[in-house]
């Protein structure tokens, strides 16, 4: 076990190594991304403030991520409730299909959506990115919400019903508060996925790029690379923060309902 | 007799889960103020029956009547019944008092009245002053009391309890049994209790329905159930009963039973709760049953009050206040259990001892061999 | 009336409510996944005639081209080889980690470890891939670092803009995908089984081989599929670190759609890629099932 532990620690370092490099170069005054480091600077972060195109992309991304997260979580609630409470004909097939985007290469989702949209004579834009992101975020939302619903003792809802509540008020007074941590967690995860997603946005974004699409275009200009590092640092820190909060909520939910089933997937 | 109309009446209720016949022609009348128990082994349909009364399960045919009103189509939230769930179903996001007051949300009482009612219910179950505790910080016994208070505060006509004590340890369980009985007398509400523990049912209930495989096998008060079970399986499920093979025949107006190891004796029709097991006029195969405490080992110098039979001690189990002897009557393979109170100065007999056993024909119950 | 009544009654049953509840999500997947996938399949039999115009006459020309042109064949084979190797590397490297977290970590620390392992997965994929370019580049972190400590004089050039770089980067990106399913499978193993094996006289190693490994097999199968299927369609990694010699099929699909404006050929490549992946995945599943089933049968 000891040598295994050493291996595990090395593995974690390997996993995190690229991410650790980000702040190193984001705060390094050299315009070339290489060792040795020169001196400390926050110049690249201030440079970000001047890239007005980037601000547009950021706003666009935020808009898309919030909308996709809300849509994916709403769709996730329906599906998660259906599978954790009821059994219905074709359940396995239907759920398998809904969860398919988890393994389907994103480029397939992207080009097939693109074809349909163009074929139907529409123009791509933020809405089509939202449509694609909702599709790929929904399985993640379902995975989180399903364990939240499964952890909920069904006799709690029966008890509320027995005490005179209607199905609707039972949902509002009992179900919703108890799965709320799961819902928040699903919202945050979906938001994070949408904020970071590149390929679908690349194909479907139209004239207004999202932040990752804009970032991708920055990569072509060596002059801008330190700023990319700065932007990357901010994005990674934000992602980690959101994911940590999401995990916190997921665990609080699990603790409340009394069983922790572990990780997100 | 018409004044004594039942509060709950189930008439020929049948229910299937797919192909499985979960409730088979259930007929049951439960009176106002009764403490009624549904007793049976795991999977016999007790919970299903209880949930049918509560309105959580649909049934195929028959009728469930409460206060003479047909309950078909009446959902659980509109029925005059409340339930104490096996898992207690205490809302973990609410405090104790919020849990208890949960069902009062729609009542027309003022807010203070609701709180007062909830406080009173808490006091009734012995949880005065616990109102502001978080619900998840309660022990099993306390959760159970909260569940009771939450249901009772609505003053239902019927309180349904699904194995409410099974999650508690033995000591707590015995204490709660007594408290539940007291509580039921105090509030006068009809209780229907589901349990698979025959002792619990005997201790607590006014009447008990014994269920097997979706059917009610017998429905009587505890003493009759114990002394006059109407079938071998009911007898076997409630307490310990010895069985010996016998034949029964009719001579004139009297019935005579010849019992393996014990000989011939006269029996009455009252001793055959399931009917006299006569296959034809010449007689029939039967089984007689008798409780361990109706037999006595005779010590030196003692004489039998009724009849006696010789036997050999096969096994001795010492319980402190009691000793269980398994003895074998002459010509019978199967041992018979006898329970004897241990009296100071009287020796516990060893295995292999030749003994005389006193038995009383009046204590026998006679069953059809197959029932 | 009777029919509508029956329908109404159906939606009050357990099954009816379930169907009703799942329908918004299922409908969404139907419209935005099933319809587009069918569309891509249909278009693969068409011919592009203008920017948005197609000749909708049925033709197999695209398939003929995709299967005979050596360029496409090479890209397809390379994609298969890359994702095969990536799968092998990630799963082999992941197993000991999953084993360690499941068996060597105190229960209360397990979710922390899993959390630490999954965090990088949630950060921008684009940035992580780009960082590998920074690490592996000619003047990159690795070369400049090695030069700084004096291990090399000339930068190593075989590590960027080729298939090696693609494999390293993908193996890094998909690591958590391989660890999680194996971990879940290991967690499900009843610990008393291992004690029973030891009690029956097996060594630690033999217990691992005869009990742990067979029981972890479903997790390994899941890990293999969960890594293999998406990597074959990866676009960003070959584009950023692969160079011309490291490009994969997804890059060609993108080129057909967005640059050459030949959607039908792009669609054909996508359909072929999915078909090949599906065949391999199903074959692997069957093989895995048979191996597991056969073992069980032999041991009883
Ligand atoms: N939803 C269901 N679908 C199918 N079969 C069911 C369902 N609920 C119960 N059953 C079956 O009906 C029978 C009676 O179940 P029920 O829960 O009423 O038993 P019980 O007497 O309460 O048992 P226990 O003491 O174990 O709680 C069992 O055989 C059970 O398997
Ligand atoms: Mg039950």
Same domain assignment for residues B226 and B307: no
Name the closest residue on chain A to residue C139, using Cα atoms: A34
Same domain assignment for residues B109 and B38: yes
The average confidence (pLDDT) of chain C is: 87
Q: Residue A252: enclosing H or E segment and its boundaries?
A: helix A225-257
State whether the beta carbon of B52 lies less than 6 angstroms from ligand 1: no
Query: What pLDDT is stored for residue B280 in this prediction?
Result: 67
Question: Would residue B159 count as lying in a domain?
Answer: yes
When divided into structural domains, chain B yields a total of 2
Residue C54 has pLDDT above 90, yes or no: no
Which of B20, B37, B86, B198 for a ligand 1 pocket mutation test, highest count of atoms within 8 Å of Cβ? B20
Could you say which of C28, C131, C234 has the minimum Cβ distance to residue A75?
Answer: C28
Q: What angle do CA C12, C15, C21 make, to 5 degrees?
A: 80
Query: What pLDDT is stored for residue A93 in this prediction?
Result: 93
| Percentage, residues of chain A above pLDDT 90 | 51
CB contact under 8 A, C33 and A192: no
State whether the beta carbon of B271 lies less than 6 angstroms from ligand 1: no
User: Which ligand ends up closest to the CA of B48?
Assistant: 1
C228-240 pLDDT, tens digit each: 998 998 999 999 9
Question: Would residue A49 count as lying in a domain?
Answer: no
A22-79 pLDDT, tens digit each: 898 899 888 888 777 888 998 899 988 888 889 999 999 999 999 999 999 999 999 9
Query: What pLDDT is stored for residue A256 in this prediction?
Result: 64
**Residue A118 vs residues A84, A124, A136, C57, C222: alpha-carbon distances, Å:** 38, 8, 20, 19, 36
Query: What pLDDT is stored for residue C236 in this prediction?
Result: 92
Question: Would residue B352 count as lying in a domain?
Answer: yes
Query: What pLDDT is stored for residue A264 in this prediction?
Result: 41
Which of B23, B37, B46 for a ligand 1 pocket mutation test, highest count of atoms within 8 Å of Cβ? B46
Nearest to B154, CA basis, from B111, B191, B115, B117: B117
3-state SS, residue A91: helix
Query: What pLDDT is stored for residue B282 in this prediction?
Result: 66
Domain that holds residue A227: 61-257
Q: What angle do CA B173, B8, B67 make, to 5 degrees?
A: 130
Question: Would residue B145 count as lying in a domain?
Answer: yes
C-alpha span between B291 and B314 (Å, rounded): 18
Report which protein residue has its CA nearest ligand 1's atom 22: B47
Chains that touch B (3 or more CB pairs under 8 A): A
Q: What residues sit around ligand 2, an ion, with C-beta below 5 angstroms?
A: B 47
Question: Would residue C41 count as lying in a domain?
Answer: no
Average pLDDT over residues A197-201: 94
Rounded to two decimals, what is the model's pTM? 0.81
Query: What pLDDT is stored for residue A260 in this prediction?
Result: 43
Same domain assignment for residues B156 and B249: no
Domain that holds residue B262: 242-368
Average pLDDT over residues B236-254: 88
Domain that holds residue C273: 70-296
| Number of CB atoms found within 10 A of residue A12's CB | 16
Residue A261 has pLDDT above 50, yes or no: no
A192 φ, ψ (degrees, to nearest 5): -60, -45
Laid out side by side, the sheet with B35-39 consists of B81-84, B158-162, B190-195, B35-39, B207-212, B215-220
Residue C298 has pLDDT above 50, yes or no: no
Average pLDDT over residues B307-326: 90
B11-57 pLDDT, tens digit each: 999 999 989 999 999 999 999 999 999 999 999 999 999 999 999 88
Same domain assignment for residues B216 and B347: no
Which pair of tokens denotes residue B276? 């006299």
pLDDT band at C192 (very low <50, low <70, confident <90, very high): confident
Name the closest residue on chain A to residue C263, using Cα atoms: A115
Nearest to C114, CA basis, from A265, B96, A170, B272: A265
Pairwise pLDDT comparison (B81 vs C293), residue with the higher score: B81
pLDDT band at B7 (very low <50, low <70, confident <90, very high): very high
Question: Would residue A140 count as lying in a domain?
Answer: yes
> How close does chain C come to A43, measured CA to CA in Å?
20
Residues of C in contact with A132 (CB under 8 A): 32
Longest Cα separation, chain A:
71
Query: What pLDDT is stored for residue B2 in this prediction?
Result: 45
Nearest-Å Rg of the Cα atoms of chain B is 25
Average pLDDT over residues B296-309: 85
CATH of the domain at C218: 1.10.3720.10
pLDDT band at B3 (very low <50, low <70, confident <90, very high): low
Residue A160 has pLDDT above 90, yes or no: yes
Residues of A in contact with B56 (CB under 8 A): 158, 162
Residues of A with CB under 8 A from a CB of B: 153, 155-156, 158-166, 173-174, 177-178, 256-258
Query: What pLDDT is stored for residue C107 in this prediction?
Result: 87
Laid out side by side, the sheet with B354-359 consists of B296-298, B354-359, B307-318, B322-329, B336-341
Question: Would residue A25 count as lying in a domain?
Answer: no
Average pLDDT over residues B355-360: 91
Query: What pLDDT is stored for residue C293 in this prediction?
Result: 57
C-alpha span between B49 and B194 (Å, rounded): 9
Same domain assignment for residues B345 and B258: yes
Residue A1 has pLDDT above 90, yes or no: no
Eight-class DSSP state of C30: I
Same domain assignment for residues B316 and B190: no
Query: What pLDDT is stored for residue A263 in this prediction?
Result: 42
Boundary-marking domain end, from B180, B202, B236: B236
Report whether B327 contacts B357 (CB < 8 A): yes
Nearest to C234, CA basis, from C136, C160, C125, C158: C125
Could you say which of C15, C25, C229 has the minimum Cβ distance to residue A86?
Answer: C15
Lowest-confidence region among A180-194, A247-261, B35-49: A247-261
Same domain assignment for residues B249 and B272: yes
Which pair of tokens denotes residue B175? 């204490």
Same domain assignment for residues B282 and B225: no
Residue C296 has pLDDT above 50, yes or no: no
Boundary-marking domain end, from B218, B236, B254: B236
The average confidence (pLDDT) of chain A is: 89
C-alpha span between A174 and A179 (Å, rounded): 9
Boundary-marking domain end, from B236, B262, B296: B236
Residue A118 has pLDDT above 70, yes or no: yes
Question: Would residue B1 count as lying in a domain?
Answer: no
Query: What pLDDT is stored for residue A17 in this prediction?
Result: 87
Residue A257 has pLDDT above 70, yes or no: no
B71 C-alpha to ligand 1 centroid (Å): 22
C-alpha span between B15 and A252 (Å, rounded): 41
Using H for helix, E for strand and C for coil, what is the string for B187-219?
A: HCCEEEEEECCHHHHHHHCCEEEEEECCEEEEE
Query: What pLDDT is stored for residue B26 in this prediction?
Result: 95
State whether the beta carbon of B17 lies less than 6 angstroms from ligand 1: yes
C150-177 pLDDT, tens digit each: 888 888 877 788 899 999 999 999 998 8
Put simply, the chain C residues between 84 and 123 with a CB less than 8 A from any chain A CB are: 93, 96-97, 99-101, 103-104, 110-111, 113-120, 122-123
Residue B1 has pLDDT above 80, yes or no: no
CATH of the domain at A104: 1.10.3720.10
C-alpha span between A37 and A261 (Å, rounded): 44
Same domain assignment for residues B130 and B218: yes
CATH of the domain at B221: 3.40.50.300
Is B77 in CB contact (< 8 Å) with chain A?
A: yes
The average confidence (pLDDT) of chain B is: 89
Same domain assignment for residues B167 and B263: no
Residue A220 has pLDDT above 60, yes or no: yes
Lowest-confidence region among A135-149, B206-220, C160-174, C199-213: C199-213
Same domain assignment for residues B228 and B246: no
When divided into structural domains, chain A yields a total of 1
Same domain assignment for residues B183 and B295: no
If you average pLDDT over each of A16-20, B272-276, C91-95, which comes out highest?
Answer: C91-95
User: Residue C77 class from Cβ within 10 Å (0-12 exposed, 13-18 middle, 19+ buried)?
Assistant: exposed
Residue B109 has pLDDT above 90, yes or no: no
Testing the interface with A: which of C80, C91, C120, C187 to mutate, by most A Cβ within 10 A? C120
Pairwise pLDDT comparison (A1 vs C291), residue with the higher score: A1
State whether the beta carbon of B39 lies less than 6 angstroms from ligand 1: no
């Amino acid at each position: 076990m000891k040598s295994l532990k050493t291996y595990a620690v090395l593995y974690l370092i390997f996993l995190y190594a690229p991410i650790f490099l980000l702040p190193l170069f984001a705060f390094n005054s050299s315009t070339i991304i290489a060792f040795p480091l020169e001196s400390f600077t926050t110049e690249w972060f201030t440079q970000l403030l001047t890239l007005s195109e980037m601000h547009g992309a950021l706003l666009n991304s935020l808009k898309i991520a919030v909308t996709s997260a809300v849509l994916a979580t709403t769709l996730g609630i329906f599906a998660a409730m259906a599978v954790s409470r009821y059994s219905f004909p074709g359940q396995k097939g239907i759920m398998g299909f809904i969860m398919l985007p988890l393994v389907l290469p994103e480029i397939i989702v992207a080009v097939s959506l693109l074809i349909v949209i163009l074929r139907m004579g529409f123009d791509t834009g933020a809405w089509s990115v939202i449509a694609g992101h909702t599709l790929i975020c929904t399985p993640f939302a379902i995975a989180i919400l399903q364990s939240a619903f499964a952890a909920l003792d069904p006799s709690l809802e029966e008890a509320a019903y027995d005490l005179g509540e209607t199905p609707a008020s039972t949902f509002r007074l009992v179900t919703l508060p108890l799965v709320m941590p799961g819902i928040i967690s699903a919202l945050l995860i979906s938001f994070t996925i949408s904020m970071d997603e590149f390929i679908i946005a690349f194909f479907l974004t139209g004239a207004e790029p999202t932040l990752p699409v804009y970032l991708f275009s920055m990569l072509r200009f060596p002059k801008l690379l330190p700023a990319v590092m700065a932007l990357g640092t901010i994005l990674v820190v934000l992602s980690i923060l959101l994911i940590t909060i999401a995990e916190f909520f997921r665990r609080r939910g699990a603790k409340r309902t009394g069983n922790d089933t572990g990780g997100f997937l | 007799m018409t004044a004594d109309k039942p509060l709950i009446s189930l008439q020929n209720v049948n229910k299937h889960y797919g192909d499985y016949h979960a409730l088979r022609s259930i007929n049951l009348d439960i009176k106002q103020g009764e403490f009624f128990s549904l007793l049976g082994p795991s999977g016999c349909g007790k919970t299903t029956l209880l949930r049918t009364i509560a309105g959580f399960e649909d049934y195929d045919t028959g009728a469930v009547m409460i206060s003479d009103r047909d309950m078909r189509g009446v959902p659980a939230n509109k029925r005059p019944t409340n339930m104490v769930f096996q898992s207690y179903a205490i809302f973990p996001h609410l405090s104790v008092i919020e849990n208890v007051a949960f069902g009062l949300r729609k009542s027309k009482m003022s807010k203070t009245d609701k709180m007062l009612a909830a406080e009173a219910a808490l006091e009734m179950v012995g949880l005065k002053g616990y109102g502001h505790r978080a619900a998840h910080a309660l022990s099993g016994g306390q959760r159970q009391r909260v569940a009771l208070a939450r249901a009772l505060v609505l003053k239902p006509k019927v309180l349904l309890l699904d194995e409410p004590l099974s999650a508690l340890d033995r000591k707590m369980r015995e204490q709660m049994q007594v408290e539940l009985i007291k509580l039921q007398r105090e509030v006068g509400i009809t209780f229907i209790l589901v349990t698979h523990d025959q002792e619990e049912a005997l201790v607590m209930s006014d009447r008990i329905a014994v269920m097997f495989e979706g059917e009610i096998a017998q429905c009587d008060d505890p003493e009759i159930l114990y002394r006059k079970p109407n079938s071998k399986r009911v007898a076997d499920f409630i307490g310990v009963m010895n069985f010996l093979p016998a034949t029964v025949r009719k001579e004139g107006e009297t019935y005579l039973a010849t019992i393996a190891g014990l000989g011939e004796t006269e029996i009455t029709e009252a001793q055959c709760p399931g009917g006299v097991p006569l296959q034809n006029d010449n007689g029939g195969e039967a089984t007689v049953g008798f409780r361990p405490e109706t037999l006595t080992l005779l010590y030196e110098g003692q004489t039998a009050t009724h009849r006696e039979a010789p036997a050999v001690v096969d096994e001795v189990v010492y319980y402190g206040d009691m000793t269980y002897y398994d003895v074998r009557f002459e010509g019978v393979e199967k041992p018979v259990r006898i329970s004897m109170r241990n009296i100071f100065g009287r020796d516990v007999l060893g295995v292999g001892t030749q003994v005389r056993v006193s038995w009383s024909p009046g204590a026998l119950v006679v069953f059809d061999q197959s029932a | 009336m009777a029919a509508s009544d029956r329908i109404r009654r159906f939606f009050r049953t357990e099954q009816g409510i379930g169907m009703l509840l799942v329908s918004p999500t299922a409908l969404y997947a139907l419209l935005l996944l099933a319809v587009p996938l069918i569309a891509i399949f249909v278009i693969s039999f068409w011919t592009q005639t203008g920017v948005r115009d197609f000749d909708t006459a049925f033709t197999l020309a695209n398939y003929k081209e995709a299967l005979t042109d050596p360029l496409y064949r090479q890209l397809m084979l390379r994609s298969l080889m890359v994702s095969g190797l990536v799968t092998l590397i990630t799963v082999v490297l992941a197993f000991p980690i999953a084993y360690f977290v499941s068996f060597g970590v105190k229960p209360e620390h397990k979710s922390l470890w899993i959390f630490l392992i999954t965090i990088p997965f949630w950060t921008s994929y684009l940035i992580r891939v780009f960082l590998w370019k920074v690490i592996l580049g000619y003047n990159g972190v690795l070369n400049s670092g090695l030069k700084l400590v004096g291990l090399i004089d000339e930068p190593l050039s075989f590590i960027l803009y080729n298939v090696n770089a693609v494999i390293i980067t993908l193996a890094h990106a998909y690591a958590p995908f391989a660890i999680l399913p194996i971990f879940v499978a290991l967690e499900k193993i009843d610990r008393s089984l291992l004690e029973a094996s030891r009690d029956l006289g097996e060594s630690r190693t033999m217990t691992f081989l005869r009990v742990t490994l067979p029981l972890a097999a479903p997790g390994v199968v899941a890990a293999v599929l969960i890594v293999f299927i998406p990597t074959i369609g990866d676009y960003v990694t070959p584009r950023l670190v692969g160079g011309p010699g490291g490009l994969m099929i997804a890059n060609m699909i993108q080129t057909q759609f967005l640059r050459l404006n030949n959607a039908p050929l792009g669609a054909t490549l996508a359909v072929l890629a999915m078909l090949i992946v599906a065949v391999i995945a199903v074959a692997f599943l069957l093989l895995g099932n048979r191996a597991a089933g056969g073992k069980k049968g032999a041991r009883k």
